[in-house]
Structure 1
Amino acid sequence: MFKSIIRRGSLIPRTCVRFNSSKPAQLFPQIYPLNKEKITEEDLDKWINALKQLKHGKKIHETEEEIYLGQITQPEQFITKKFEPSLEQIEETYQYKNKQIPLKSDPTVDNFINLIMRHGRKARAQKIVSRAFYIVQLKLRKDPIEVLKETLNKLGPVVTTKSMSTGVAKRKIVPIPLNERQRNRFAITWILEASKNRKSNDFAVRLAEELINAYEGKSSGYDKKAQMHKQATQQRAYITL
């Protein structure tokens, strides 16, 4: 078996290429010069004997074949080149040191898509949002997801009111605080309602224009937010802690 492998020349070239070592590459031509026409049976016996000695754990290598095989079985001594980063790479590393790995999908964007979706056609809603974000990116030269989050944070109301029974004929209007998801829902709903009044036939264009308008503080949703807060302020006497 060893003879057929060596005769085909598959063992020796692989070891030379794999380890990219200068020592075995220099030693091998000494054992078998390039001008040597063929490998004799005696040469094969030397290699087979060297393999057997190496397999049995011989520590002291005497023949050239044993030295060569001992070198390629311990490639660590030839791997001396170490990676040294440049100053630019080190600076770039510090820039991303405190950065978190981004999520596969953003919860705020997913909520935005779900409120746009109609009749279970989520792929269509995702396409509309992607096109709208692309327009926002071109217009503002900012990350559209950050634009959306900042817009929802500014447009979303903090409190709303709810009609509650008092046990008698008259009902009372009670202010109720909103969590982040509820605030975003109000803001997204107002953006979608305002986008319907725009002139473009493409919903993605209308959505992008209204999102930019709301980001700049010009949306009609701010009037609805102010009215909601005003009503809650008027009914502050009914707040229960």
Structure 2
Amino acid sequence: MPPRLNTRTFARSIPLRSKPQVRWSARTATRFAPSQCRPYSDFTNSGANDRSKKIDAQPADHISEEAAKTAEIMGEQGPDMSKGTPVEEIVKGDKEAQDKLPKVMKDKLKAQGNAAPKGSRSYSTMTTQTGAGNGLDMGLVDVQAAIKTPQTPGLKFEMPTLPLPKDGHLKYRYDPVVEQVTNLIMQHGKKSVAQSNMALILQHLRTSPIPTINPAKPLLPGAPPPSHLPLNPILYLTLAIDSVAPLMRIRSQRGAAGGGVALQIPVPLGQRQRRRVAVEWILGAASKRRNVGSGKGSLAQRIAQEMVAVVEGRSGIWDRRNAIHKLGVAARANIVLPRKR
């Protein structure tokens, strides 16, 4: 059966409540007073407001007039204002105006343009080929041709003359001392960093003041004057290394005297070996120096300062070299010479 509907519920009244209305407070509109602007003035003295009579409102003088006034102030003779500016100067940079000039003035402008500039020569300094040979005539004596045709067929250039010069090879184009010092400075196989440090060392030697030589610790015989050393930094470097390089090394040999006592035997060193020992001493002394500056060039600066100290006789490497030489002279009796047959 369908559910029963209760009809009493429809008789109930549903309460309705009205929403409160929002009232806006009336505000007074802002009123602006009319501006007190006067479109006219009854002030009779209007000359004060006239800018046409002021100095800054006047047009600038012409360049000729300005030059004439400047010359008058300086007490010199300026341009003549009675004469006008030449037409050539007026149309100098105007191509269109030059095309409209008369033919006489056009010819005058062309003649001025073809004239030789001030300070130039009336003759040419270019090299010209001589009629007799293939050389260039430059006004010199015994000038040979810059380019020669190779006599060997199939070659663009002549074969090099043997023996090759020291700097003729790509791998040996640097000075041997510079190359050896660069290899000894190099760390972890970074050759470019060592070359940069070597360049800084040579620059420091070139810009350093003239060294003061100590007579008690003389340099190699035949050395140039001290004033010439900064002019040739490679010579400066070579002289510092060769002057302090030892002539020998001390080798300890056990059982040389027939017992267990080791004998000290002096062994002579070659030129490259001597330089290697000297550079190692210089690098060791430079590492103990106080770092004055900062940056990547601090090591190169310390090495260069140590080399300058070696040349001036202030370095402790001289005492180390003298000690080895004294020990070698004392131990020269331990040298066993080969027997003659």
Match of 1:134 in 2: 203
TM-superposed CA distance for 1:113, in Å, is 0.8
TM-superposed CA distance for 1:115, in Å, is 0.8
| CA gap 1:84/1:192 in 2 versus in 1, 3 angstroms | same
TM-superposed CA distance for 1:135, in Å, is 0.9
| CA gap 1:85/1:194 in 2 versus in 1, 3 angstroms | same
1:149 corresponds to 2:238: yes
Partner residue of 1:211 out of 307, 317, 329: 307
Match of 2:225 in 1: none
TM-superposed CA distance for 1:80, in Å, is 10
Equivalents in 2 of 1:180, 1:79: separation in Å?
48
Q: Percent identity?
A: 29
Q: Secondary structure at the match of 2:137?
A: coil
TM-superposed CA distance for 1:78, in Å, is 10
- Please say which of residues 204-213 and 139-148 is displaced more in the overlay: 139-148
> Deviations along 1:29-80, whole A, 9 cap, x unmatched?
xxxxxxxxxxxxxxxxxxxxxxxxxxxxxxxxxxxxxxxxxxxxxx957989
TM-superposed CA distance for 1:208, in Å, is 1.2
| Deviant stretches of 4+, over 3 Å | 75-83
Equivalents in 1 of 2:323, 2:334: separation in Å?
18
| CA gap 1:80/1:236 in 2 versus in 1, 3 angstroms | closer
TM-superposed CA distance for 1:174, in Å, is 0.6
**Which runs of 5 or more structure 2 residues have no equivalent in the other structure?**
1-129, 144-163, 168-172, 210-229
Please tell me the residue identity of whatever aligns with 1:171.
A
1:229 corresponds to 2:298: no
| CA gap 1:170/1:198 in 2 versus in 1, 3 angstroms | closer
Q: Secondary structure at the match of 2:200?
A: helix
Equivalents in 2 of 1:192, 1:77: separation in Å?
62
1:3-14 alignment runs, 5 A limit: none
1:189 corresponds to 2:285: no
Partner residue of 2:334 out of 233, 238, 241: 238
Match of 2:89 in 1: none
Equivalents in 2 of 1:132, 1:81: separation in Å?
43
Match of 1:113 in 2: 182
Equivalents in 2 of 1:101, 1:80: separation in Å?
27
| CA gap 1:159/1:79 in 2 versus in 1, 3 angstroms | closer
TM-superposed CA distance for 1:178, in Å, is 0.9
Equivalents in 1 of 2:181, 2:195: separation in Å?
9
1:9-20 alignment runs, 5 A limit: none
Match of 1:93 in 2: none
Write 1 or 2 for the structure with the bigger share of helix. Answer: 1
Equivalents in 2 of 1:176, 1:152: separation in Å?
20
Equivalents in 2 of 1:76, 1:119: separation in Å?
62
Equivalent pairs counted in the alignment come to 155
Equivalents in 2 of 1:132, 1:181: separation in Å?
20
**Which runs of 5 or more structure 1 residues have no equivalent in the other structure?**
1-74, 90-99
Please tell me the residue identity of whatever aligns with 1:233.
V
Q: Secondary structure at the match of 1:176?
A: strand
TM-score of the pair, normalised by structure 1: 0.58
TM-score of the pair, normalised by structure 2: 0.42
CA RMSD of aligned residues (A): 2.7
> Deviations along 1:120-159, whole A, 9 cap, x unmatched?
1111111011011101100143211101111111100011
Q: Secondary structure at the match of 2:250?
A: strand
1:160 corresponds to 2:249: yes
